[in-house]
Amino acid sequence: MSNTEKSDLLHLAESVSVELLEEKKPLHDILLACKQICKTLQILDENYWIELELNGYLVRYKTRDQLYDNLPNYRKTDWKFYDLYGNMISLPPDIANLFGKSIIYHSVADLENSNQIVIGNQFFEKFNKFITDHGMDYASKNVRIHEAKVSKNEINQVLTGLKSRTQEFLDGIISILEFGQVS
């Protein structure tokens, strides 16, 4: 990489970092710029998380357990459960710990444009089977989670975590471009 290319890339990374800090652009656009930086430096494979954030985690992970095991911590949040009729379901703490794992797998563009997220019942099959098999009484054996909802506040926590990860990435790139060897 020539000194001019290195200097241009450094300028781009610094500009994107400022845009991120000053929230001048949507996070989606910031990540697109980060992806371009990775392509130029030929480090896109090492930074696949950018692709997952842009396109959502369902492109790679299909089951609830795969999603939960591979989601970054900032994408693990609280959610509220509802039955088929829209009634909120309160889970006992031990059941909530076992089955109440959140899975915010949506793309960053979807998150930036959402006031709430609704997670469909396909991710609650294990819970519904478990409660049918192990419920303590008639009422608990017949509880079925139909969907879960994630509030705007929780979405904002995910976006804040992603901004921190993106800033750390940009800081690292800037440091490499300023002081490290780039081929």
Residue-wise pLDDT for 20-51, tens only, equals 999 989 999 999 999 999 999 999 888 999 99
Q: For residue 110, is pLDDT > 90?
A: yes
Nearest alpha-carbon partner for 105 in 42, 44, 162, 22: 162
Q: What is the pLDDT of residue 140?
A: 59
pLDDT at 103: 74
Rounded distance, CA 130 to CA 29, Å?
42
Give the C-alpha separation, 134 to 49, whole Å.
38
Mean pLDDT (the chain) is: 86
Rounded to whole angstroms, the Cα distance separating 61 from 118 reads 18
Q: Are 55 and 35 in contact (CB under 8 A)?
A: no
Confidence of residue 139 (pLDDT cuts 50, 70, 90): low
Tell me the percentage of the chain whose pLDDT exceeds 90.
Answer: 45
Report the predicted TM-score, pTM, of the whole model to 2 decimal places: 0.82
CA–CA distance from 110 to each of 20, 39, 130 (Å)? Answer: 18, 24, 31
Q: Which two tokens stand for residue 47?
A: 């930074």
